[in-house]
């Protein structure tokens, strides 16, 4: 009872939501890190705007709805459109890499900056105001509803199931892509399913907890874990553990600061900053340890 | 069409637009120069990193300003200093993760972006509750306002661009050496100092452009012109010139379109418009660029395969004595679009298609076919000379006969002492002008 009273009901929901997303992100992010494709998350965070802009235009043309009614309605369509946009982004990046032989960094930069600026232009053209930023469309962990939890839990279950079933295939694919064609029957299908699941959880994450925490949760914990992990399983365990601890810590810290000092910190900002400081701390510690071992 | 040009002329001379126009052009050119250096390093995403990691710095600057209660002029300066400081820290961290800890550039970039963005969000939430007005000002700083550019800004950009071009011209040799071979440059003592100088120049250019162009333009302009230029020219100085052109062109067209499209109703944001134009240029270059653009590459491939098909046809016509039935041709060409191919070849004037479905070799075709056969047999002789088995050389020669040039032919003739028969005891046709010249 006393443990439950530690947080209000809203904060428990917040915590559960954050935990569900952070666990699925550390599962997916580990494999993105191993495949060296973390940058995809950043690219998607920009291109989603393009898909949303197209959605607005379509809605306005076909049903005459205005921009602001759309924001409150159509969450399902929103998620669908963002997933399609995310997949298109990944597809375009791969096309540029394979067909035109562009470097991976150049193709990523080209695709996301182009689609993002097109998205901004389209939104400005059809709402006729230049003050519509990404922040209106994107969610915030401090403004949540209990229904959001359903999708979060669904994503958690989906990603846990997927990773545990296809763990072996994913490991093989991320370390040796050529070998994966011999060892498992359909590596392409597993890879596609992985990318679909990743874009689903990333876009839902943007909608419900915001861009900054998604990018932070997907990129920082695997690197932190890689300092100590000796195999892929340990990599996943460590990043899940660090994610859980820091999620709880960040919510508690934000609450404490709000009660003691009266300053409303952004939970997502606190979360990412804590992750970052943990990484810095461990880098320093590990670096010192290596230094001492080298001296001996 | 004429009203359009009139509009362009009016716009170019309109004093309200010229300031922002020249500002955009100067900023884009400097950004694309910086972009060339980083795209050579394969880290085109560095602009993205700097743009994101300037965010917490801006807000830190604002906090310092609040604490010391400075005037608004000094506040702007503080914001810029803060932004430069955090951007520098994040770049430092990036190289630290990559070199010291051997993390992949992808992960290191993402960590820099996300962690500084997160810190920015945290600090922004504090600033929003402390001083909402200042928060709005900082946000303007971040998204950029091309319309608020003053003559002072244009002068600043001009100075930055001139300094940057001085830097590039003075150190171009060292930069080249450093970018292409770090170890080699190390022998000449080029390394850390130059690296630091490049980082400083980059930071100054980017943060100063941030005020009026916004993050979007920054990340876009640092990548697109450089990529586009690499598809046309090879030399690094030419890449610099061409990317200058692309940068300036997209700045001009983009800022014009941003006003022209909306008409009197609304003004499109300039930064995204410029980026879109620049991306369109890049797409065009990727498709039609002289050095391996997609369409150009496909066109060359088709031309080559046509040439091979034609030479094969001429060769077999020559061997069969100058005429072949269509069904025989079908075996040689082995293609679905046989009629189309024949029509194309007929246009080249080497063959003619007579009645009774027969393909006949013409006078010009005989000369061409003789050359192909000659090359084929010369190569066979050469391969036998080098030590290949006699029965295996035919297949190799079938491939190489399409690519041998006249120069190589002369060398082969000299080396093989002008042979008359191939290893299979068939006659090698003589070259036209050499037919009666003794060796």
B37 touches chain A (CB under 8 A): no
The closest alpha carbon to A138, from A197, A77, A203, belongs to A203
- Buried/exposed code over B356-367 (b: 16+ C-beta within 10 A; e: otherwise): eeebebbeebbe
Closest in B110, B124, B272 to A121, CB measured: B272
Residues 255-274 of A with CB under 8 A from B: 263-266, 268-273
A140 touches chain B (CB under 8 A): no
Give chain A's count of helices (H) and strands (E): 13, 0
- pLDDT for A4 equals 65
The closest alpha carbon to B217, from B261, B255, B243, belongs to B255
- The dihedral region occupied by B388, where left means phi > 0, alpha psi between -120 and 50, and beta the remainder, is beta
A125 touches chain B (CB under 8 A): yes
- pLDDT for B432 equals 64
Partner-chain contact A263 B227, CB within 8 Å: no
Partner-chain contact B279 A106, CB within 8 Å: no
B144 touches chain A (CB under 8 A): no
B227 touches chain A (CB under 8 A): yes
**Measured distance CA(B101)–CA(B83) in Å, rounded:** 26
pTM of the prediction? 0.82
- pLDDT for A277 equals 92
The per-residue pLDDT for range A135-171, each reduced to its tens digit, is 555 667 777 777 778 888 999 999 999 999 988 888 8
Chain-centre distance for alpha carbon A11: 21
Lookup result for tokens 């661009």: B161
Partner-chain contact A125 B39, CB within 8 Å: no
B177 touches chain A (CB under 8 A): no
The per-residue pLDDT for range B308-338, each reduced to its tens digit, is 888 888 888 888 777 777 777 777 776 667 7
State the average pLDDT over residues B1-27: 75
A67 touches chain B (CB under 8 A): no
Cα dihedral: B50, B56, B60, B63 (round 10): 140
Residue A133: its chain B contacts at CB < 8 A?
143
B61 touches chain A (CB under 8 A): no
| Phi, psi angle pair for A143, to nearest 5° | -120, 90
**Measured distance CA(A206)–CA(B102) in Å, rounded:** 30
- pLDDT for B143 equals 63
State how far the alpha carbon of A40 is from the alpha carbons of A36, A99, B360, in Å. Answer: 9, 19, 59
Question: Is residue B103 classed exposed, middle or buried when 0-12, 13-18 and 19+ CB atoms within 10 A define those classes?
Answer: buried
Q: Is residue A105 a contact partner of residue B201, using CB atoms and an 8 Å limit?
A: no
Q: Is residue A173 a contact partner of residue A190, using CB atoms and an 8 Å limit?
A: yes
- pLDDT for B243 equals 92
- ipTM, 2 dp: 0.88
B220 touches chain A (CB under 8 A): yes
Q: Is residue A156 a contact partner of residue A17, using CB atoms and an 8 Å limit?
A: no
Chain B's closest residue to A133, CA to CA, is: B143
- pLDDT for B20 equals 78
The per-residue pLDDT for range A125-135, each reduced to its tens digit, is 777 655 555 55
Confidence class for position B437, pLDDT limits 50, 70, 90: very low
The per-residue pLDDT for range B40-58, each reduced to its tens digit, is 887 888 888 888 888 888 8
Partner-chain contact B266 A124, CB within 8 Å: yes
| Phi, psi angle pair for B421, to nearest 5° | -130, 150
**Residue B380: both structure tokens together:** 């066979």
- Buried/exposed code over B161-189 (b: 16+ C-beta within 10 A; e: otherwise): beebeebbeebeebbebbbeeeeebeeee
Of residues B188 and A272, the one with the higher pLDDT is A272
Q: Is residue B275 a contact partner of residue B217, using CB atoms and an 8 Å limit?
A: yes
Partner-chain contact A110 B118, CB within 8 Å: no
Of residues A70 and A162, the one with the higher pLDDT is A162
| Phi, psi angle pair for A2, to nearest 5° | -70, -30
Residue B117: its chain A contacts at CB < 8 A?
211-212, 215-216, 272
Partner-chain contact B266 A125, CB within 8 Å: yes
Q: Shortest Cα distance from B84 to chain A (angstroms)?
A: 20
- pLDDT for A184 equals 66
Interface test with B, best of A210, A212, A243 (most B CBs within 10 A): A212
State the average pLDDT over residues B360-383: 82
**Residue B330: both structure tokens together:** 């079908």
Confidence class for position B439, pLDDT limits 50, 70, 90: very low
**Measured distance CA(A130)–CA(B425) in Å, rounded:** 81
Residues 364-383 of B with CB under 8 A from A: none
Partner-chain contact A116 B272, CB within 8 Å: yes
Q: Is the pLDDT of residue B182 over 90?
A: no
Give chain B's count of helices (H) and strands (E): 18, 3
Q: Is residue A235 a contact partner of residue A225, using CB atoms and an 8 Å limit?
A: yes
| Phi, psi angle pair for A73, to nearest 5° | -100, -175
* Domains located in chain A, CATH noted: 3-286 (1.10.3470.10)
CB pairs under 8 A between A and B: 175
State how far the alpha carbon of A126 is from the alpha carbons of A120, B80, B86, in Å. Answer: 10, 34, 36
What are the residues whose beta carbons fall under 8 Å from the beta carbon of B399, sequence distance 6 or more? none
Degrees, nearest 5: CA angle B35-B227-B34 = 10
**Measured distance CA(A104)–CA(B143) in Å, rounded:** 27
Residue B101: its chain A contacts at CB < 8 A?
283
Chain A's closest residue to B266, CA to CA, is: A128
Question: Is residue A67 classed exposed, middle or buried when 0-12, 13-18 and 19+ CB atoms within 10 A define those classes?
Answer: middle
Strand partners, B351: B361
Q: Shortest Cα distance from A1 to chain B (angstroms)?
A: 32
- pLDDT for A158 equals 92
The lowest-confidence range among A94-108, B153-167, B301-315, B338-352 is B338-352
**Measured distance CA(A208)–CA(A82) in Å, rounded:** 13
Of residues A198 and B340, the one with the higher pLDDT is A198
Residue A275: its chain B contacts at CB < 8 A?
115, 118
A213 touches chain B (CB under 8 A): yes
Partner-chain contact B286 A264, CB within 8 Å: no
Partner-chain contact A265 B122, CB within 8 Å: yes
Strand pairing class (B351-354; B358-361): antiparallel
B53 touches chain A (CB under 8 A): no
Q: In what order do the strands lie in the sheet with B358-361?
A: B323-325, B358-361, B351-354
State the average pLDDT over residues A81-96: 89
Question: Is residue A174 classed exposed, middle or buried when 0-12, 13-18 and 19+ CB atoms within 10 A define those classes?
Answer: buried
Q: Is residue B21 a contact partner of residue B255, using CB atoms and an 8 Å limit?
A: yes
Chain B's closest residue to A127, CA to CA, is: B266
State the average pLDDT over residues B210-235: 81
What are the residues whose beta carbons fall under 8 Å from the beta carbon of A196, sequence distance 6 or more? A83, A87
Of residues A2 and A183, the one with the higher pLDDT is A183
Residue A45: its chain B contacts at CB < 8 A?
none
Q: Is residue A275 a contact partner of residue A215, using CB atoms and an 8 Å limit?
A: no
**Measured distance CA(B341)–CA(B360) in Å, rounded:** 15
Confidence class for position A238, pLDDT limits 50, 70, 90: very high
**Measured distance CA(B245)–CA(A215) in Å, rounded:** 35
| Phi, psi angle pair for B257, to nearest 5° | -60, -35
Which H/E stretch holds residue B398?
helix B393-400
Lookup result for tokens 């530690």: A6
- DSSP letter (8 states) at residue B431: P
Which H/E stretch holds residue A238?
helix A232-261
Q: Is residue B83 a contact partner of residue B210, using CB atoms and an 8 Å limit?
A: yes
Question: Is residue A151 classed exposed, middle or buried when 0-12, 13-18 and 19+ CB atoms within 10 A define those classes?
Answer: buried
Partner-chain contact A133 B123, CB within 8 Å: no
- pLDDT for B24 equals 84
The lowest-confidence range among A221-230, B103-112, B430-439 is B430-439
A215 touches chain B (CB under 8 A): yes
**Measured distance CA(B288)–CA(B206) in Å, rounded:** 30
The per-residue pLDDT for range A157-206, each reduced to its tens digit, is 999 999 999 888 888 888 877 777 777 667 788 888 898 899 889 888 88
| Phi, psi angle pair for B37, to nearest 5° | -60, -45
Closest in B125, B216, B223 to A120, CB measured: B216
Of residues B342 and B247, the one with the higher pLDDT is B247
- pLDDT for B438 equals 46
**Residue B67: both structure tokens together:** 């604490």
Q: Shortest Cα distance from A284 to chain B (angstroms)?
A: 11
Closest in A113, A215, A273 to B113, CB measured: A215
Question: Is residue B286 classed exposed, middle or buried when 0-12, 13-18 and 19+ CB atoms within 10 A define those classes?
Answer: buried
**Measured distance CA(A28)–CA(A80) in Å, rounded:** 20
Which H/E stretch holds residue B325?
strand B323-325
Closest in B39, B105, B117 to A212, CB measured: B117
Rounded to the nearest 10 degrees, what angle do helices A9-35 and A148-165 cross at? 30
Partner-chain contact B118 A269, CB within 8 Å: yes
């Amino acid at each position: 009872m006393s443990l439950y009273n530690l947080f209000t009901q809203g904060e428990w929901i917040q915590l559960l939501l954050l935990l569900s997303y952070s666990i699925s992100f550390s599962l997916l992010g580990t494999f993105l890190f191993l495949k060296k494709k973390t940058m995809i998350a950043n690219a998607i965070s920009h291109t989603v705007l393009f898909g949303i802009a197209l959605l607005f235009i379509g809605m306005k043309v076909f049903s005459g709805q205005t921009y602001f009614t759309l924001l409150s309605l159509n969450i399902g369509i929103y998620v669908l459109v963002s997933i399609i946009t995310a997949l298109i982004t990944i597809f375009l990046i791969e096309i540029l890499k394979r067909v035109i032989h562009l470097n991976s960094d150049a193709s990523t930069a080209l695709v996301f900056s182009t689609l993002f600026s097109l998205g901004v232009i389209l939104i400005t053209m059809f709402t006729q105001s230049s003050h519509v930023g990404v922040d209106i469309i994107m969610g915030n962990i401090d403004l949540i509803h209990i229904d959001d939890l359903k999708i979060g839990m669904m994503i958690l279950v989906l990603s846990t199931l997927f990773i545990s079933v296809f763990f072996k295939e994913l490991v093989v694919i991320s370390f040796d892509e050529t070998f994966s064609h011999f060892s498992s029957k359909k590596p392409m299908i597993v890879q596609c399913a992985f990318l679909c699941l990743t874009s689903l959880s990333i876009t839902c994450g943007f909608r419900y907890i915001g861009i900054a925490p998604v990018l932070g949760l997907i990129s920082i914990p695997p690197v932190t874990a890689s300092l100590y992990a000796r195999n892929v399983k340990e990599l996943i365990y460590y990043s899940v553990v660090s994610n859980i601890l820091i999620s709880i810590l960040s919510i508690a810290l934000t609450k404490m600061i709000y009660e003691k000092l009266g300053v409303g910190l952004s939970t997502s900002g606190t979360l990412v900053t804590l992750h970052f400081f943990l990484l810095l701390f461990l880098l320093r510690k590990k670096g010192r340890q290596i230094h001492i071992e080298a001296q001996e | 069409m004429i009203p359009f040009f009139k509009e362009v002329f009016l716009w170019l001379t309109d004093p309200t637009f010229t300031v922002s126009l020249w500002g955009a052009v100067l900023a884009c050119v400097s950004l694309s120069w910086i972009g060339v250096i980083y795209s050579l390093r394969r880290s085109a995403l560095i602009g993205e990193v700097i743009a994101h990691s300037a965010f917490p710095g801006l807000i830190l600057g604002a906090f310092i300003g609040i604490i010391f209660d400075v005037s608004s002029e000094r506040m702007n300066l503080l914001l810029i200093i803060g932004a430069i400081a955090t951007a520098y820290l994040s770049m430092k961290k990036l190289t630290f993760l990559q070199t010291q800890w051997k993390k992949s550039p992808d992960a290191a970039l993402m960590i820099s972006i996300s962690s500084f963005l997160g810190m920015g969000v945290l600090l922004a939430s504090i600033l929003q509750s402390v001083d909402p007005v200042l928060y709005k000002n900082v946000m303007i700083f971040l998204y950029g306002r091309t319309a608020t550019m003053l003559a002072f800004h244009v002068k600043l950009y001009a100075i930055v661009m001139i300094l940057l071009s001085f830097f590039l011209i003075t150190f171009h040799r060292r930069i080249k050496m450093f970018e292409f071979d770090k170890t080699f440059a190390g022998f000449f003592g080029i390394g850390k100092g130059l690296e630091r100088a490049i980082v400083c120049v980059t930071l100054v250019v980017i943060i100063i452009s941030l005020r009026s162009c916004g993050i979007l333009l920054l990340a876009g302009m640092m990548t697109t012109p450089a990529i586009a230029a690499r598809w046309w020219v090879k030399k690094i100085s030419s890449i610099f010139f061409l990317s200058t052109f692309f940068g300036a062109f997209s700045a001009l067209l983009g800022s014009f379109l941003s006003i022209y499209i909306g008409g009197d109703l609304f003004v499109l944001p300039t930064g995204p418009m410029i980026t879109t134009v620049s991306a369109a240029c890049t797409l065009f270059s990727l498709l039609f660029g002289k050095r391996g653009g997609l369409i150009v590459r496909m066109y060359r491939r088709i031309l080559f395969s046509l040439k091979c098909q034609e030479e094969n046809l001429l060769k077999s016509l020559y061997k069969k004595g100058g005429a072949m039935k269509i069904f025989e041709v079908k075996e040689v060409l082995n293609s679905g679009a046989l009629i189309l191919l024949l029509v194309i070849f007929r246009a080249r004037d080497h063959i003619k298609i007579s009645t009774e479905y027969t393909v006949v070799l013409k006078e010009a075709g005989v000369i061409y076919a003789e050359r192909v056969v000659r090359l084929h047999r010369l190569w066979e002789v050469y391969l036998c000379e080098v030590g290949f088995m006699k029965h295996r050389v035919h297949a190799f020669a079938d491939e190489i006969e399409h690519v041998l040039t006249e120069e190589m032919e002369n060398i082969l003739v000299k080396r093989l002492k002008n042979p008359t028969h191939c290893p299979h005891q068939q006659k090698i046709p003589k070259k036209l002008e050499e037919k009666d010249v003794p060796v």
